[in-house]
Amino acid sequence: MVDKLHKSDDEWRELLAPDPFSVLRGAGTERAFNGPFWDSKASGTYVCGACQLPLYASDTKFDSGSGWPSYYAPIEDAHITEVRDTSHGMIRVEATCARCDSHLGHIFPDGPPPTGNRHCINGHALIFVPEGEPNPPLVE
């Protein structure tokens, strides 16, 4: 279980740049092949762009061809909350940060082994921490 972090939109707006705020707090989506990290092959950890909870390890990242960073599993299942999303006339599974409820992207059942899942995540929802560097402290 992850301890929840609650902030108002005004508090988040003070902490986040406009593009990350639009994705993380407004459930926006960046254009394919335009956001950060979609083609990154660097080793490290991807943390929540809002609260810095560690979400994905680079060794679970794969090229899905979708134009967004894709991972077959989170660092810990408890760090991602799956939410039914019926927007845009579709039924999908939204991925949100379990700590701050920020929108990350969506989860699809068309990924590689061992999970068969594709966590299709907006690059603006993430901060990359290179291997060997400490994760930033969690936002309070």
* Residues noted as catalytic: 120
Cα gap 60→4, rounded to integer Å: 25
Cβ neighbours of residue 27 under 8 Å, at least 6 residues apart?
94, 103
3-state secondary structure of 126: strand
Cα gap 69→127, rounded to integer Å: 12
**Biggest distance spanned by C-alpha atoms of the chain:** 43
Q: Which two tokens stand for residue 139?
A: 């936002």
Cα gap 49→36, rounded to integer Å: 12
The answer to whether 121 touches 49, Cβ cutoff 8 Å, is: no
